[in-house]
Amino acid sequence: MTKRAFKQVDVFTSTPYFGNPLAVVLDGDGLDDAAMQRFAAWTNLSETTFLLPPTHPDADYRVRIFTPGGELPFAGHPTLGSCHAWLEAGGRPRSDLIVQQCAGGLVAIRRDEDRLTFAAPPMRRSAPSPTLLAKVAAALGLKAQQIIGAQLLDNGPVWLGLLLDNADTVLTLKPDHRALRELGQKVGVAGIPAADPAPALIARSNREARAFAGTGAAAIGLEVRAFAAPIGIEEDPVTGSLNASLAQWLIAETHLPSHYIAAQGQALGRSGRVHVMRDAQGQVWIGGDSVTCIEGTVRL
């Protein structure tokens, strides 16, 4: 085993322990697939990444992304967290735009002041089968009239995206995770808060309210939850790939404006914030703060 530089980064938050943690091995050279997967299962985080030299001439670095149950071609919070860790460790991009190479292709990342923002990759969407939709609704305890829209969203990871009637419905869901695991489909649910936020959307404690002053319920354009039992994660705290797909879908169908902030993680005691912007060329950018919580070495 070799000592390798390691960081654990909290993503989609500027306050430690309120976002989605990511394990980053800064030197993945020489590790085979089995070693990477074993370590990702051991960390038991939603994702663990391994940084490698790029093999594409336009990339600044390469990343491999693992969940406890397998490898992903692309994921959002590992993109931002890995880039944060790479820059903090002395990585120097060749231009103002950072280019990450992953199994899903090249991902552009820019620095907007202190916040990193990635270009959402191309997304394919289609209508789910009525049978799948009915089974997922039953597993979530939803009635048909509570579902405003449903789409299969594919930007590498595939999510069944559901737009629900309001944000309160999203926050009060009590999913049957066993049923969702048996269906083999990751599910992302979203709801637009009412103009006058309901109590469920207000910070769960005074501590959270202080930590996120200025990004409270009134600033939130979308409330999101992500259920991923098929890959070993019952509920993901904050999910970049899902928020990217939801943004591309919901902005295109005019459910949301071209700029908004999504909240995710409240049901898990987190307060993730995802900054969404579609530019004049139609490119959706997904941004979030990151903060390093642990750094040192691991033996792999």
DSSP string, 60-103: SEEEEEEETTEEES--HHHHHHHHHHHHHTT---SSSSEEEEET
List of residues 6+ apart from 188 with CB closer than 8 A: 153, 159, 160, 161, 162, 224, 225, 226, 227, 239, 242, 245, 246
Gap between the Cα atoms of 298 and 108, Å rounded: 29
For residue 113, how many other CB atoms are within 10 A of its CB? Answer: 4
146 and 228 part of one domain: yes
Q: How confident is the model at residue 210 (pLDDT cuts 50, 70, 90)?
A: very low
* 235-251 average pLDDT score: 96
* 148-162 average pLDDT score: 96
155 and 293 part of one domain: no
pLDDT reported for residue 289: 97
110 and 144 part of one domain: no
Write the CATH number for 44. 3.10.310.10
86 and 185 part of one domain: no
pLDDT reported for residue 104: 93
18 and 98 part of one domain: yes
156 and 45 part of one domain: no
pTM (predicted TM-score): 0.90
115 and 194 part of one domain: no
Domain around 22: 3-120+288-299
100 and 137 part of one domain: no
> 3-state class of 254 per DSSP?
coil
Which candidate in 47, 208, 223, 235 is catalytic? 47
275 and 135 part of one domain: yes
pLDDT reported for residue 217: 41
Answer yes or no: is pLDDT of 257 > 80.
yes
Instruction: Write out pLDDT tens, residues 84-143.
Output: 999 999 999 999 999 999 999 999 999 988 899 999 999 999 999 999 999 999 999 999
Domain count along the chain:
2
Instruction: Write out pLDDT tens, residues 19-51.
Output: 999 999 999 999 999 999 999 999 999 999 999
**Mean pLDDT, the chain, integer:** 92
- 47 is known as an active-site residue: yes
276 and 294 part of one domain: no
114 and 13 part of one domain: yes
Gap between the Cα atoms of 66 and 192, Å rounded: 31
Per mean pLDDT, which range of 155-159, 191-195, 279-283 is the poorest?
191-195
Instruction: Write out pLDDT tens, residues 167-208.
Output: 999 999 999 999 999 999 999 999 999 875 444 443 333 333
Gap between the Cα atoms of 222 and 130, Å rounded: 25
* 224-236 average pLDDT score: 93
114 and 133 part of one domain: no
